Amino acid sequence: MQIAALEKQLDFLREIDRLKTVVRQSPLLDKSRKENSAEHSWHLAMYALLLSEYASGPVNTDRVIQMLLLHDVVEIDVGDHPIHGGSSSALQLEQESRAAERLFGLLPRPQGDALLALWQEFERAETEDAKFAKALDRFQPLLVNIFTGGGTWTENNVSLEQVFSRYGPAIKRGAPLLWVACEQWVIQHFAGRV
């Protein structure tokens, strides 16, 4: 056994425990508390496991699952940036890139490089796998808001038009059939509130 390699792998696995303490804006469905980014990542991986038939193109479900498992680890260094908190700045993207290099740099060389490349692929959102992963990362919080009767939309006074513009493009691009369903739910939701 390569003890040095194992020690690095355990350093990484120990460090990412902190993702369980990064709190998101979205609530749990029972509204008992806010969701954290580790359990959010688990839930998204389950979404990918079940819903790949709705991807816009041919996807490798297992790669999508891997991407979603690690897509948020950078939040350990830079925190969560909520969808309704304004658009991402160049500074934020730069900070996230540095966080990814630090975190995946804890791992032995070839393994860390491969995971960093997978994280970068997710961020660029150009491949079929990454587009589908990005779509699910928008789809799940949208559903949480539908299921909880408003969630972060109510808290942030978000309009139907803002929901369409903030969630629509990513979901439509990576999972167009899911967006067709979303449009109906969103319209019904806002009709009920008026």
10 vs 4, 24, 44, 143, CA distance in Å? 10, 26, 24, 35
- In angstroms, give the least distance from the CB of 192 to a second copy: 18
Is 11 an interacting residue with respect to a second copy (CB under 8 A)?
Answer: no
- In angstroms, give the least distance from the CB of 20 to a second copy: 5
Choose which of 23, 43, 84, 92 interacts with a second copy (CB under 8 A): 43
Taking the C-alpha atoms of residue 9 and residue 29, their distance in angstroms, rounded to an integer, is 34
Is 84 an interacting residue with respect to a second copy (CB under 8 A)?
Answer: no
Helix (H) or strand (E) holding 190: helix 176-193
Point out which span in 61-69, 79-87, 119-127, 153-161 binds a second copy (CB under 8 A).
61-69
Q: Find out whether 186 and 146 touch, Cβ atoms under 8 Å.
A: yes
The backbone torsions φ and ψ at residue 35, rounded to the nearest 5 degrees and listed phi first, read -80, 145
**Judged by CB, which is closer to a second copy: 6, or 187?**
6
**Cβ contacts of 156 within 8 Å, gap of 6 or more:** 84
Taking the C-alpha atoms of residue 72 and residue 119, their distance in angstroms, rounded to an integer, is 9
**Judged by CB, which is closer to a second copy: 93, or 187?**
187
Is 49 an interacting residue with respect to a second copy (CB under 8 A)?
Answer: yes
Residue closest to 143 by CA, chosen among 189, 104, 76: 189
Is 106 an interacting residue with respect to a second copy (CB under 8 A)?
Answer: no
What does the binding site for a second copy look like in residue numbers (CB under 8 A)?
A: 1, 3, 6, 9-10, 12-14, 16-21, 28-30, 32, 35-36, 38-39, 41-43, 45-47, 49-51, 54, 62, 65-66, 69-70, 107, 111, 115, 143, 147, 177-178, 180-181
